[in-house]
Structure 1
Amino acid sequence: MFGLGKKRTKFGRWLDRQGIKQIEIEKKANLGRATVSRLCNDTDYRPKYETVLKIKKALKQLGHDVPPDDYFGM
């Protein structure tokens, strides 16, 4: 769907299914582009707890009140 054939993380695939753009997460979570890109594309990247909380809060603001297990698989 997105990413021009790049492998996506569980989070990246979840965003794609929900129709949420990475730029929306960047702005709502107040995270840098590189961090959001790593969250969506780097399967070896493990976010800090603070980052997970920012993502959860941003998704809630976007109307997606779901546990991080749904998109991070922690």
Structure 2
Amino acid sequence: MNWLGLGKNRSRFGKYLDKNSITQQEIAEESGVSKSTISRLCDPKGYEPSLKNAKKIIKFLKKHDPIVDYSDFWDM
């Protein structure tokens, strides 16, 4: 059982956060993207962020993983 994901189905983005021990709260605070948007992005239903929010999220994630890119999570 994945303790951070609590056994829920996750999107590629959600799985990445779980694998790298990044909380939704942390990424919301650091990126400036609302926690509700981050939560929707972790859901496997295929929600995609606006380009503006995607840029903020990727900018934050690059601090942890310099090679991370949009295509790792979304078909933009």
TM range (shorter): 0.7 to 0.9
* Separation of aligned partners in 1, 2:18 and 2:54: 18
**Structure-1 residue corresponding to 2:20:** 18
**Shift in Å, 1:17:** 0.8
Amino acid aligned to 1:15 = L
* Separation of aligned partners in 2, 1:25 and 1:19: 11
**Shift in Å, 1:28:** 1.1
Once the two structures are aligned, what percentage of the paired residues are identical? Answer: 39
* Separation of aligned partners in 2, 1:3 and 1:73: 19
TM-score, with length taken from structure 1: 0.83
Which of these residues, 42, 45, 54, is aligned with residue 43 of structure 1?
Answer: 45
**Structure-2 residue corresponding to 1:54:** 56
Count of aligned pairs: 72
Q: Extract unaligned runs of 5+ from structure 2.
A: none
Alignment of 1:21-36 (within 5 A): 21-36=23-38
Amino acid aligned to 1:29 = S
**Structure-2 residue corresponding to 1:9:** 11
Higher relative helix content: 1
* Separation of aligned partners in 1, 2:9 and 2:30: 24
Amino acid aligned to 1:64 = D
Amino acid aligned to 2:29 = K
* Separation of aligned partners in 1, 2:69 and 2:48: 17
